[in-house]
Amino acid sequence: MASKSNIHFEISERKLLLRVVDVAALFFGLYIVSNIFDFDYFMIRKERWLWMVVLVLYYVLFSTIFELYSLQKSSRYDTTFQGIVLTVSITVLCYLLTPFFTPELPENRLQIIYFFLAISVAIFLWRCAYIFFISSPRFFKNILLIGSTEEIKIMSDAIQKNTKYYKIVGYIDSSLNLTIKSNELTDIEEITDLNLKEVVQEKAVSEIIIGSNEREELSKPLFDGLIALLETGLPIKEYIQVYEELTFRVPVQYIGKDFYKYFPFSRSNQNKLYLFAHRLFDIVSSIFGLLVSLLFLPFILIGNLIGNRGPLLYTQKRVGKNGVPFKIYKLRSMVIDAEKDGAVWAAKNDARITKFGSFLRKSRLDEVPQFINVLKGEMSMIGPRPERPSFVKKLSESLTFYEIRHVVKPGVTGWAQVKTEYGASMEDSLRKLQYDLYYIKHRGFFLDLNIIVKTLSTVLFYRGR
């Protein structure tokens, strides 16, 4: 049977495509405008390469902060338009304010409008084409699932929840006990033909995903078929690997005693150069943060006097690296004696949070005193958030591998903080743990940079908790 055409883009390829074509569209727009209108503020010339480099750096930085490369937002016209307007506005403003690295301000101010519109229109037209063509189902990846029916249910739910770019074309029940069936798989076609080459060709399968827990139950025909497909170059992945790629979390709830097989610690945890640079960044950024916070201190004092009516600072015991407790410093955001009846998780719209305290939390200003903890070496700028001893004890009993979070210093911000909402339940704590373990597993310069940029985005969009 003839193979069906199935062109698709990986998630990483989509993000790379957006970045590369964005830059190409940016310069194309400027080139068109310079040839149609009286526009000579930005000329694409070989001898002016620095102008182009600075423009690209500004654009890529701010487009990342304003989430132009979020695949969910990039697939919608409204969020794409908003993101482009914000990104190009800030990019153009910063470009105009750095004349040492960029062209001098034009005498004709109309050229600034041309500059803004050329970039905005060109990128928006390209993004419209991306939404219409690349984000359409014709470029989805066809995948085949193999595992027990329980595993298939878990895998299909996670895939459908976390990405729309995968299309599940069917599943093969690998369980040797075929009498046990799930009643929740009616929306996915079961494939009983074990001639995998024919199945892959007929369904235009681009990737096979295998369940993680019961691979020893694979029958010999199924195993032989997978080996034959592997030799053809067809990607065959384990579910845990795919889960990490889709969610940027470690699925600890699906891993048994062989956890360390899936969780090698990042080499950066022992890399002296990385650790030195990390500590240097901690010191410099915390000193800078404390100095900048002095500008806001008068307003914070007035706000606390009116909205909080009580002590501004408070300390609280938290668990640090290697389980060592320390006192964390914060700006008070709750009413006095908020925990007179004992430690309680802060919930969404918590009545104990004052109006001024809500502002401190959403703007992340309540975290500023933790720069002192960073200078003292008790915390880092980036890492898992430190929890209270009573919560750590409770969570360690309920969540496997929870204490692994303590192999690195806790952070002012972290992967869990920029990827998920504030945790107020055991389920939320599990999700945060998955993100924290992902950070420890993949820790490095680029992931740290990603967290910094996303933290700036959180502050700018006033999305603190």
Domains of the chain by start residue, with CATH: 11-134 (no CATH), 140-247 (3.40.50.720), 267-460 (no CATH)
Looking at residue 1, its pLDDT comes to: 38
Q: Crossing angle, helix 426-442 and helix 445-460, to 10 degrees?
A: 140
Locate 191 and state its tokens: 């494939």
Looking at residue 27, its pLDDT comes to: 94
Q: Which helix (H) or strand (E) holds 99?
A: none
Which region, left, alpha or beta, applies to residue 74 given φ > 0 means left and ψ of -120 to 50 means alpha?
A: alpha
327-379, pLDDT tens digit by residue?
999 998 888 776 666 666 666 667 788 888 888 888 888 999 999 999 999 99
215 has pLDDT over 60: no
What is the distance between the alpha carbons of residues 248 and 262, in angstroms, rounded to a whole number?
14
Residue count of the chain, please give it: 465
108 has pLDDT over 90: no
Looking at residue 178, its pLDDT comes to: 53
What is the distance between the alpha carbons of residues 65 and 427, in angstroms, rounded to a whole number?
28
What is the distance between the alpha carbons of residues 19 and 23, in angstroms, rounded to a whole number?
6
Percent with pLDDT over 90 in the chain: 32
Exposure of 277 by Cβ count < 10 A (0-12 exposed, 13-18 middle, 19+ buried)?
middle
70 has pLDDT over 70: yes
26 has pLDDT over 90: yes
Query: What are the DSSP calls for 167-189, one per residue?
Result: EEEEEEE--S-TT---TT-TTS-
The predicted model gives 201-207 an average pLDDT of 89
Looking at residue 3, its pLDDT comes to: 43
Locate 268 and state its tokens: 């950066």
User: Which tops the pLDDT comparison, 106 or 35?
Assistant: 35
Q: Which residues have CB under 8 Å from 411's CB, separation 6+? A: 379, 380, 381, 382, 383, 384, 385
The average confidence (pLDDT) of the chain is: 84
92-104, pLDDT tens digit by residue?
999 988 888 888 7
Looking at residue 263, its pLDDT comes to: 59
The predicted model gives 65-83 an average pLDDT of 87
Looking at residue 143, its pLDDT comes to: 92
Looking at residue 382, its pLDDT comes to: 96
Looking at residue 213, its pLDDT comes to: 56
What is the distance between the alpha carbons of residues 429 and 431, in angstroms, rounded to a whole number?
5
150 has pLDDT over 70: yes
Residues forming beta bridges with residue 173, ordered by sequence position? 147
Locate 239 and state its tokens: 């579910």
What is the distance between the alpha carbons of residues 306 and 312, in angstroms, rounded to a whole number?
11
446 has pLDDT over 60: yes
220-256, pLDDT tens digit by residue?
888 888 888 888 888 888 888 888 888 888 877 666 5
Integer CA distances (angstroms), 313 to 96, 168, 215, 390, 404, in order: 40, 53, 54, 22, 30
437 has pLDDT over 70: yes
177 has pLDDT over 60: no
What is the distance between the alpha carbons of residues 21 and 18, in angstroms, rounded to a whole number?
6
| Residue from 243, 245, 199, 244 nearest 10 by CA | 245
* % helix, strand, coil for the chain, step of 5: 55, 10, 35
The predicted model gives 300-318 an average pLDDT of 88
Residues forming beta bridges with residue 311, ordered by sequence position? none
287 has pLDDT over 50: yes
What is the distance between the alpha carbons of residues 402 and 133, in angstroms, rounded to a whole number?
43
Looking at residue 211, its pLDDT comes to: 82
369-419, pLDDT tens digit by residue?
999 999 999 999 999 999 999 889 988 888 878 888 999 999 999 999 888
Integer CA distances (angstroms), 73 to 46, 83, 84, 204, 455, in order: 35, 9, 11, 28, 18
Residues forming beta bridges with residue 382, ordered by sequence position? 413
Looking at residue 46, its pLDDT comes to: 76
154-165, pLDDT tens digit by residue?
888 888 887 777
